[in-house]
A and B are shown apart, each in its own frame.
Chain A
């Protein structure tokens, strides 16, 4: 039953993506992106990842708010001639389709949907599930992984967020440029 629901939501995301590509009004494209993101978080919930569902919804709200802040009052209505693609879309469509057809036969070698690959080896996932609670004492295995077993990843990830915020603020320096005369 879950597979059908996931398939349906995935089709909704693809249709939504087509909608985003073809629509003229910027604001509705941004809102459509939000809808696709929320569809994705429902898929995460169905696939047994509640942690991810919460983070995905929250991140989607923030990026929606930031993007709406960027598009509001600014040439909402895309002029008709502007929506033509900058380069003729046909060759790109053909080679992407070719790429998809080449990849398709390889899909059969992926693990069957529903029997993940960590079962055929004595993989670290089984180790985490069995001994994770004893070693770290955290019932939520996923936060045990991201903060204790692979805490070094999360340090890197926290720094990624810090650099992107620092970078965004250093680009948006219009405000203190007025005070002291900045670069020549």
Chain B
């Protein structure tokens, strides 16, 4: 469908920024108060899906098309795996140890406080967000009813 009426498009354009900001908030303070990588990532995916529904496939592709979202998804997963392997490069640090916390323990209750936990939250947030968006675009682009319209 070529997107919805004008009202929905302008409102969607407006709200998109706030939703992504809210998702980032949930991700970044995941280790301080409830929330975390998964929830924030899914909220960011909802923002992009809202754009896709409001403006139809073509406009949404300019922002985040299938290949870019797939590669971002992968970069998130590789970053998470890298954080896990960090211990291999240092002597005697086992796999998946919280290395950053051992060497640079931040001051409690601050954003940069719990070693590699906020970074892992960020990695999962990127991965979940872009991954679910690419599933949704895959589902909708596959839909022949979708293709006849645009």
Query: A residues engaging B (CB < 8 A)?
Result: 50-51, 53-55, 58-59, 61-62, 65-66, 69-70, 73, 133, 135-140, 142-144, 146-148, 151-152, 154-155, 158-159, 161-162, 165, 168-169, 172, 174-175
Contacts and interface: CB of A to CB of B under 8 A. Distances in A.
A154 B37 CA distance: 11
Contacts of A148: 98, 101, 114-117
A169 B81 CA distance: 22
A175 B141 contact: yes
Interface string B24-40: 00100011111110110
A51 B31 CA distance: 11
Given A137-B113, A137-B115, A143-B30, 5 more contacts: A54-B39, A137-B106, A144-B31, A162-B127, A165-B134
A43 to B, nearest CB: 16
List the 10 closest pairs (A to B, CB-CB), nearest first.
A138-B114, A58-B42, A50-B34, A138-B31, A54-B39, A172-B142, A137-B114, A151-B96, A165-B131, A55-B39
A154 B33 contact: no
14 contacts: A58-B39, A58-B46, A61-B42, A70-B139, A133-B108, A136-B115, A137-B105, A140-B31, A143-B36, A148-B117, A155-B84, A158-B128, A165-B135, A172-B141
A51 B39 contact: yes
Contacts of A162: 73-74, 77, 127, 131
B145 interface: yes
Contact of B138 (A55, A140, A169): A169
B111 to A, nearest CB: 11
B34 A51 contact: yes
A163 B57 CA distance: 24
Interface of B: 26, 30-36, 38-39, 42-43, 45-46, 49, 70, 73-74, 77, 80-81, 84, 95-96, 98, 101, 105-106, 108-109, 113-117, 120-121, 124, 127-128, 131-132, 134-136, 138-145
B139 A158 contact: no
A11 B30 CA distance: 32
Contacts of A136: 98, 101, 114-115, 117
A152 B83 CA distance: 11
A158 B77 CA distance: 7
A84 to B, nearest CB: 28
Contacts of B140: 69
A112 B141 CA distance: 50
Contacts of A165: 73, 131-132, 134-135
B84 A151 contact: yes
A51 B36 contact: yes
A66 B135 CA distance: 9
